[in-house]
Amino acid sequence: MDLSRRNFFGVMAGTGTLLAGRTQNAHAWKSKAPENPFGCLVDLTRCVGCRKCEEACNQANHLPPPDKSFENKSVFEFKRRPDESKYTVVNRYYSGTKNDQDALLPTFVKIQCMHCQDPSCVSACVVGALTKKENGAVHYDVSKCIGCRYCMVACPFEIPAYEYHNPITPHVRKCNFCFEKISQSGGVPACASICPMEAITFGHRKQLIDIARNRMKKDPGKYVHDIYGEKEVGGTSWMYISGEPFEKVGFQKLPLTPPPKLTETIQHSLFSYLWSPILLYSLLGGIMWFKNKNDRGGTHES
């Protein structure tokens, strides 16, 4: 354990240069959201629960055939979640609203990856296998994935699913916003193009927000005055308007700040240019050198 004076000053000099080279401002966190990506607006007042979107998604992504056919309405008896064999599902909710004959009115809610503007999964992914594309899609590159499943821990919408029964080469599975299709001009996601009720409107995010506001303005009694996904977790590419309060039809109340803001701020203010480890290293080096110098006054130490 020999820390000589020369070694120590060498370390200190190196540290000094590195610290001096570090710019003073610990950068404030900035959103990396694309300016005006594609998105989808889902109008829950229009959806009739035909499940055509589920079928189109299944075919477009070459997913395994379902246990019950896409015409089967008994699936609505239970709340389903997207998984490795279905990237989108429609659930039925009864929020308590009744029609003239006193029968409960259903609300159908399609769920899939929301393609967040500042996605937690993208920030979390250890290898950057998940990326937010300029066109809005949160894209998964299996060639980088190590299968740590931190994206699943991070996702506020609890969407990514995992192939738990594949022992060697499992994938993370989720809606990919039909990335290949929407990358070509005029391309529309499979679910949006098939919808017979035009409940899913595909377009640019800012225009979709305008469309949503217009529909609310035209028919104020029909909608709750909120666009789910406009501001939630910093905004999402998929957004919803509804006639029923969102909490009653399966949407959770989410913070408006993007979750990566906190973790990335902590990480970058502590570790940008590795300033704190280098500082700690020099500090400990200094203490060690000082203590060793004092000890060397004759005592024989290990």
CA atoms within 13 A on the CB side of 245: 7
In the numeric block, which tokens belong to residue 40? 């989808």
Placement of tokens 């821990």 in the chain: 153
Pairing label, strands 238-241, 38-43: parallel
Min dist. Cβ of residue 293 to another protein (A): 10
Classify residue 102 by its DSSP letter. S
Q: Does residue number 19 form part of the binding site for another protein (CB under 8 A)?
A: no
| Residue 125 binds to another protein (criterion: CB under 8 A) | yes
Of 179 and 281, CB closest to another protein: 281
Residues 59-118 that bind another protein (CB under 8 A): 81, 83
Instruction: Please answer whether residues 267 and 127 qualify as being in contact, where contact means their C-beta atoms are separated by less than 8 angstroms.
Output: no
Show the binding pattern over residues 205-244: x = contacts another protein (CB under 8 A), - = does not. Answer: ----------------------------------------
Dmax over CA atoms of the chain, in Å, equals: 100
Helices vs. strands in the chain: H and E counts, helices first: 9, 9
Q: Which is nearer to another protein, 107 or 123 (CB)?
A: 123
Residue 31 near another protein by CB under 8 A: no
CB 89 to another protein: min, Å: 12
Interaction with another protein in 252-291: which residues (CB under 8 A)? 252, 254-255, 259-260, 262-264, 266-268, 271, 277, 280-281, 284-285, 287-288, 291
18-47 core/surface letters (b: 16 or more CB in 10 A; e: else): eeeeeeeeeeebeeebbeebbbbbbbbebb
Q: Which residue has the tokens 């300033």?
A: 275
- Binding test (CB under 8 A) with another protein, winner from 139, 149, 204, 248: 149
Residues linked to residue 86 through DSSP beta bridges, in sequence order:
83
User: What is the distance between the alpha carbons of residues 106 and 68, in angstroms, rounded to a whole number?
Assistant: 21
- Judged by CB under 8 A, does residue 201 bind another protein? no
With CB under 8 A as the contact rule, the residue among 106, 147, 187, 203 that binds another protein is 147
**Quick one: which of 66, 170, 187, 203 contacts another protein (CB under 8 A)?**
170
**Ramachandran angles phi, psi of 11, nearest 5°:** -60, -45
* Closer to another protein by Cβ: residue 202 or 289: 289
Distance separating alpha carbons of residues 54 and 179, to the nearest angstrom: 17
Beta bridge partners of 172: 162
Selected binder of another protein within 63, 112, 148, 201 (CB under 8 A):
148
Nearest-angstrom CA–CA distance, 155 and 160:
7
Closest separation between CB of residue 147 and another protein, Å? 2
Least distance in Å: CB of 244 to another protein? Answer: 18
Query: Is residue 164 involved in binding another protein (CB under 8 A)?
Result: yes
- Interface with another protein includes 26 (CB under 8 A)? no
Q: What is the nearest approach in angstroms of another protein to the Cβ of residue 102?
A: 30
| Helix 275-295 and helix 260-271, axial crossing angle in degrees, nearest 10 | 40
Interacting residues with another protein (CB under 8 A): 1-3, 7, 81, 83, 120, 122-129, 144-150, 152-154, 156, 158, 160-170, 252, 254-255, 259-260, 262-264, 266-268, 271, 277, 280-281, 284-285, 287-288, 291-292, 294-295, 301-302
